């Protein structure tokens, strides 16, 4: 079987069943380009549509801020 028979798929994790699913690209319902990320609306085998976001600025925005040293130490 050659590449002419291969179909593009996505590997997603279903937030409902918590299982990994291979989903055909025809299951992508919409792609929305935001300033910080790209949102893919994907129809899942569980029957629902989930939103998957990707992008460096999205990942940086959702990361917790680094810890800072205290201005002054107080006794416990």
Q: Domain boundaries in the chain? A: 26-57
- Asked whether the beta carbons of 48 and 67 are under 8 A apart, the reply is no
Burial classification of residue 20, based on how many CB atoms lie within 10 Å of its CB (0-12 exposed, 13-18 middle, 19 or more buried): exposed
The pLDDT assigned to 75 comes to 72
The pTM score is 0.66
Span 1-20, pLDDT tens digits = 566 778 899 999 999 999 99
- Within 10 A of 26 (CB to CB), how many other CB atoms are there? 10
């Amino acid at each position: 079987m050659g590449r002419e028979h291969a179909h593009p798929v996505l590997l997603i994790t279903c937030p409902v069943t918590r299982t990994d699913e291979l989903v055909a690209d025809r299951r992508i319902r919409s792609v929305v380009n935001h300033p910080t990320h790209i949102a893919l609306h994907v129809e899942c085998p569980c029957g629902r549509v989930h939103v998957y976001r990707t992008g460096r600025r999205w990942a940086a925005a959702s990361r917790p801020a680094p810890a800072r040293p205290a201005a002054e130490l107080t006794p416990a």
